[in-house]
Amino acid sequence: MRLLTSESVDDQPIDRGDIVYACAVSGANILRDMREAIVNTIGGHMTKYESLLDQTIARALKGLGERAQAQGYDGVLGIRISHPHITDGAIEVVVTGTGFRYAGPRR
């Protein structure tokens, strides 16, 4: 499964399909929220949230690949990751793109 931010595939002809999307939401537990609130007040890296955000983005991209594969696509073009944000103790990530299939014989 190819997941690409570009709008085209240069090595083979393709047929574009429909939009494919996936979302992932992760909850930040109360202890993590309290620790990060302190870091936010005094300054510094919010490492627990950074790690949670990384995991959530990876899960959303994995879900995108799985949905594309289930729809018979070989990959997804033009992937966009929503501006992840933390709201009410949660991190939300939405990823979208255009499914594609290779046209003709594969190399």
Q: Is residue 36 a part of any domain in this protein? A: yes
What was the pLDDT predicted at 26?
A: 87
Question: What global pTM score does this model have?
Answer: 0.81
Q: Is residue 65 a part of any domain in this protein? A: yes
Where would I find the beta strands (DSSP E) of 6-106?
14-27, 75-81, 85-87, 90-102
What Cα–Cα distance (Å) separates residue 9 from each residue in 6, 25, 41, 76? 8, 30, 46, 10
Report the CATH number at residue 31: 3.30.110.70
Structural domain boundaries, residue 21: 2-102
What was the pLDDT predicted at 41?
A: 67
Q: Is residue 107 a part of any domain in this protein? A: no
Asked whether the beta carbons of 33 and 89 are under 8 A apart, the reply is: yes
Query: What domain count does the chain have?
Result: 1
pLDDT tens digit sequence for 39-97: 666 766 667 778 888 999 999 999 999 999 999 999 999 999 997 666 667 889 999 99
Q: Is residue 14 a part of any domain in this protein? A: yes
